[in-house]
Amino acid sequence: MNAPVAITPALVAEHGLKPDEYQRILKLIGREPTITELGIFSAMWNEHCSYKSSKRWLRTLPTKGARVIYGPGENAGAVDIGDGQAVIFKMESHNHPSFIEPYQGAATGVGGILRDVFTMGARPIAAMNALFFGAPEHPKTRHLVSGVVGGVGGYGNSFGVPTVAGSVLFDRRYNGNILVNAFAAGIADKNAIFTSQAEGVGRPVVYLGSKTGRDGIHGATMASAAFGGADAEEKRPTVQVGDPFSEKLLLEACLELMASGAVIAIQDMGAAGLTSSAVEMGAKGDLGILLELDRVPTRETGMTAYEMMLSESQERMLMVLDPAREKDAEAIFRKWGLDFAVIGRTTDDLRFRLVHQGVEVANLPIKELGDQAPEYDRPRTEPVAPVPLDRASVPEPADYGEALVRLIGSPNMSSRRYVWEQYDHLVQGNTMQRPGGDAAVVRLPGTAKALAFTTDVTPRYCAADPFEGGKQAVAEAWRNLTAVGALPLAVTDNLNFGNPERPDVMGQFAAAILGIGEASRALDFPVVSGNVSLYNETNGASIPPTPTIGGVGLLPDATAMATIAFKAEGEAILVIGKAGTHLGRSAYLMELLGRDEGAPPPVDLRAEKANGDFVRTLISDRRITACHDVSDGGLAIALVEMALAGGMGVAINLATSGDRLGWLFGEDQARYVVTAPQESAAAITTAAAAAGIPVSVIGRTGGAELTCTGTFAVPLAKLRSAHENWFPDYMARPA
């Protein structure tokens, strides 16, 4: 089984290790590695696990804050939400596997992120998914949408976590490389958060959960490589298969075990499975780890040490237990019908040693495996500043009403009901705001509080200007949380980019991170967890830079929550923020004219903060009846969405004599639409003026039409059918 294998340059290359990286290994261990050791290095030093190209830039992000308990470096970030509770959350990509095998790729992405959260002792209470597909007309898109949505639902629904929000975007630049970014959040007792840091010598290292099979071997390496033409098919066997039922058992067993006091350290087996989990527990605790691989529960006979160490079989955990409590721990796992095996122990020699069939197949310095991973400051070229849009070249539509119907019924602006209705968004009974609003809201039983969740990024902005695009993604997440009345707490970032060995891609990456950092700092919205996914390219074509932001906010009093729906006829409609003008990279330009041009709207972070804080106070003081942020499609689309959600129309007065198009469809940032009873509108206007916040009263709710003086009058029913029908019609059409 463990016959020596000659380590040839070809074999090294197959493991994704560059010649200089292999030299580094030789220097580090002073001899040629065994095949098992080579596998371990390839798993630990690939981009996915080592962040070797991104680390330098990630370090620039603000990660601390008064409420932050754990920032990046743990399985997930942890933030204090009062009453002795913490919210624990993270977002992670499963892009390559989902392109190869959409159902299982997406399902195991959900499974992986849920494990990251409950590994820290938190019970998952909410999930989200940000999905990016190719053009609707691309022959693979429909199949990928169907599989990914099915996989997300199939896993989350069975596991029992509500999938409460997310996004779905279509863009031809994802034709050969879709993105699946899965988010999960859980709640833990602030004083009972678990980490992977092992403590104590001679303590049992315990394997829990499902058995180890040959699935997913080299999954992390695959995630660190770009696709060639026929590659996707050939790589199918490296995609793992998810089992949400086992995950549910693992959740319940882990939480029960943690409550019993037997757990010293815990780490889920995610990317690079047993290898990275064991190394991380030892390295963090300044301990060595000795594993006896003959004790690993396996699904198949004849598995080699190499295969066991690199398997990415799902639903597995590694723990260091209090030896005095080993029997109790075993009883809990047997009750839940899960495998439980002591497979090794902690040592004081700082070595990572593996014994299989009486042979020592690996003996490596445990800390250096992680610490000495290569780190690159890759060459980069500054992104080229976008050419401003030539406004004179953008005609007004012949019929504004028709343009509005087309835009609200376009692939990227239409309702995502088809998707979210396949996700159980109500299980656990705490969903206060369902998908379709600015942010989902989930109450916390036994308290007056609720948490708000959103995912945001506008890739067409990021492609044009990665710095402003990075800023905008953070600002929009902050704004969406604010719009439901939540205080934005912190974010998790899922950074999806192309090949970092290309200077232009590295330039995009650096600029986007700097933009994210600037916005996070200005908005007091630290980055507490995240994931980097590079090499998202097929046949040399990169995806647009896509730094997805998952934002979490806190509503101290859940009953003060705002929604986007108009509530009553005859109410005043106010816009908080400046009048719209900016059409560069707008949805109007892109979806209706097919023009991807200009600079994205700049984000004025000071205005963002001031306007948002003002709106949040209006909500908590219960002075407004509905609230919606202005984003894709501008003011006109915000009004349509509010009208559709409330089932009533609106009449607005055109408040500009000049630029009608910009006023209606401009995507200027830092803006909200709110409604209030007529009698309180004046007081809000006065308060805004006193605070230096731009505000305007633009119309009133009511009727069955959306009207704008001298510009359009469209029946709500017509807008609704355009908005609701695109997705189901598209999916029902033969491929």
* CA 144/CA 179 separation, integer angstroms: 11
Annotated active-site residue 48? The verdict is: yes
Site string for other proteins, 445-484 (x = CB under 8 A): x---------------------------------------
- Return the number of the residue (562 or 610) whose C-beta is nearest other proteins: 562
d(CA 666, CA 634): 5
* Chosen residue from 72, 154, 176, 633 binding other proteins by CB under 8 A: 154
- Min dist CB 384 to other proteins, Å, is 44
Is residue 212 within 8 Å of residue 300, measured between CB atoms? no
Nearer to other proteins, 414 or 433 (CB): 433
* Cross-strand partners of 127: 163, 184
Cα separation values, 339 from 208, 332, 355, 455, Å:
6, 11, 21, 36
Q: Which of 342, 427, 579, 687 binds other proteins (CB under 8 A)?
A: 427
Q: Residue 563 Cβ, how far from other proteins at the closest point, in Å?
A: 10
Among 30, 229, 358, 429, binds other proteins (CB under 8 A): 429
Which of these ranges, 422-430, 494-502, 514-522, 609-617, lies near other proteins under the rule CB under 8 A?
422-430
Judged by CB under 8 A, which stretch of 277-285, 312-320, 418-426, 595-603 contacts other proteins?
A: 418-426
* Per CB under 8 A, 597 contacts other proteins: no
The distance of closest approach from Cβ of residue 249 to other proteins in the complex, given in angstroms and rounded to an integer, is 6
Q: How far is the CB of 153 from other proteins (least distance, A)?
A: 5
Measured from the CB atom, the residue of 252 and 326 that comes closer to other proteins is: 252
Is residue 108 within the footprint of other proteins (CB under 8 A)? no
Question: Measured between alpha carbons, how far is 394 from 216 in angstroms, rounded to an integer?
Answer: 50
CA dist., res. 41 & res. 28, Å (int)? 11
Q: Which residues contact 153 (CB under 8 A, 6 or more apart)?
A: 163, 422, 423, 424
343, 317, 339: which is closest to 258 by C-alpha? 317
Smallest separation (angstroms) from other proteins to the CB of 399: 31
Q: How far is the CB of 723 from other proteins (least distance, A)?
A: 16
Among the listed residues 15, 94, 96, 425, the single catalytic one is 94
Site string for other proteins, 369-408 (x = CB under 8 A): ----------------------------------------
Give yes or no for residue 707 binding other proteins (CB under 8 A): no
**Window 220-249: contact mask with other proteins (x via CB under 8 A):** -----------------------xxxx-xx
Burial 165-202, CB ≥16 within 10 A → b, else e: bbbbbbbebbbbbbbbbbbbbbbbebeebbbbbbeeee
Beta strands per DSSP E along 32-84: 68-70, 77-80
Contacts with other proteins by CB under 8 A: the residue count is: 34
The strand pair at 77-80 and 68-70 is best described as antiparallel
Greatest alpha-carbon pair distance for the chain in Å reads 86
- Distance CA(623)–CA(692), nearest Å, equals 18
* Bridge pairing between strands 650-652 and 68-70: unpaired
Q: Which residues contact 416 (CB under 8 A, 6 or more apart)?
A: 166, 167, 168, 435, 436, 727
Strand, coil or helix: 613: helix
CB of 343: closest distance to other proteins in angstroms? Answer: 24
Q: Which of 191, 189, 80, 165 is nearest to 487 (CA)?
A: 80
**53 within 8 A of 378, measured Cβ to Cβ:** yes
Q: How far is the CB of 678 from other proteins (least distance, A)?
A: 26
Q: Rounded to the nearest whole angstrom, what is the least distance from the CB of residue 561 to other proteins in the complex?
A: 9
If the CB atoms of residues 59 and 622 are measured against other proteins, the closer one turns out to be: 622
Identify the residue among 37, 101, 424, 571 touching other proteins (CB under 8 A): 424
Name the residue nearer to other proteins (CB basis): 158 or 653: 158
Is 582 labeled as catalytic in the residue annotation? no
Q: Is residue 734 a contact residue for other proteins (CB under 8 A)?
A: no
Binding mask 310-349 for other proteins (x = CB under 8 A): --------------------------xx------------
Least distance from C-beta 150 to other proteins, angstroms? Answer: 7
Site string for other proteins, 245-284 (x = CB under 8 A): xx-xx--x--------------------------------
Residue ranges of the alpha helices (H) in 69-140?
Answer: 95-100, 102-118
The verdict on 674 binding other proteins (CB under 8 A) reads no
Nearest approach in angstroms of CB 99 to other proteins is: 21
**Of the residues 26, 259, 426, 717, which one makes contact with other proteins according to CB under 8 A:** 426
Residue closest to 548 by CA, chosen among 125, 90, 170, 185: 90
Contact yes or no for 437/553 (Cβ under 8 A):
no
Answer for which of 287, 558, 589, 695 binds other proteins (CB under 8 A) is: 558
The residue among 521, 529, 520, 497 whose CA lies nearest residue 510 is 497
Q: Within 621-715, where are the H helices?
A: 634-646, 660-665, 678-691
Residue tagged active-site, from 48, 218, 425, 582? 48
Residue 87, token pair as written in the block: 């919210």
212: DSSP letter:
B
Site string for other proteins, 54-93 (x = CB under 8 A): ----------------------------------------
Q: Taking Cα atoms as reference points, which of 604, 468, 622 lies closest to residue 558?
A: 622
What is the DSSP-derived secondary structure letter of residue 118? H
The window from 1-9, 154-162, 316-324, 578-586 that contacts other proteins (CB under 8 A) reads: 154-162
Half-sphere exposure (CA, 13 Å, Cβ side) for 199? 7
Nearer to other proteins by Cβ, of 252 and 504: the residue is 252
- The 3-state DSSP class for residue 573 equals strand
Would you count residue 124 as binding other proteins (CB under 8 A)?
no
Both tokens of 382, joined, read: 């500054």
Distances (CA, A) of 401 to 574, 583, 707, 726: 22, 18, 9, 18
Least separation in angstroms between CB 386 and other proteins: 41
- Any contact of residue 535 with other proteins (CB under 8 A)? no
The length of the chain in residues reads: 735
Q: Which stretch binds other proteins (CB under 8 A): 71-79, 80-88, 152-160, 192-200?
A: 152-160
Q: Is 422 in the site for other proteins (CB under 8 A)?
A: yes
Nearer to other proteins, 218 or 316 (CB): 316
Considering the complex, state which of residue 15 and residue 443 has its C-beta at the smaller distance from other proteins. Answer: 443
Of 172, 406, 434, 595, which one interacts with other proteins (CB under 8 A)?
A: 434
Query: What are 494's strand-pairing partners?
Result: 531, 548
Indicate the residue type of 91.
M
d(CA 692, CA 414): 35
Strand 672-676 versus strand 546-555 pairing type: unpaired
Q: Examine residue 360 and tell whether it contacts other proteins (CB under 8 A).
A: no
Residues 156-215 that bind other proteins (CB under 8 A): 157-160
Single-letter code of the amino acid located at 251: L
Rounded CA-CA distance 672/627 in Å is 7
Instruction: Give the nearest distance from C-beta 485 to other proteins in angstroms.
Output: 14
Q: Applying CB under 8 A, which residues contact other proteins?
A: 150, 153-154, 157-160, 243-246, 248-249, 252, 336-337, 420-432, 434, 443, 445, 558-559
**Catalytic annotation, residues:** 48, 94
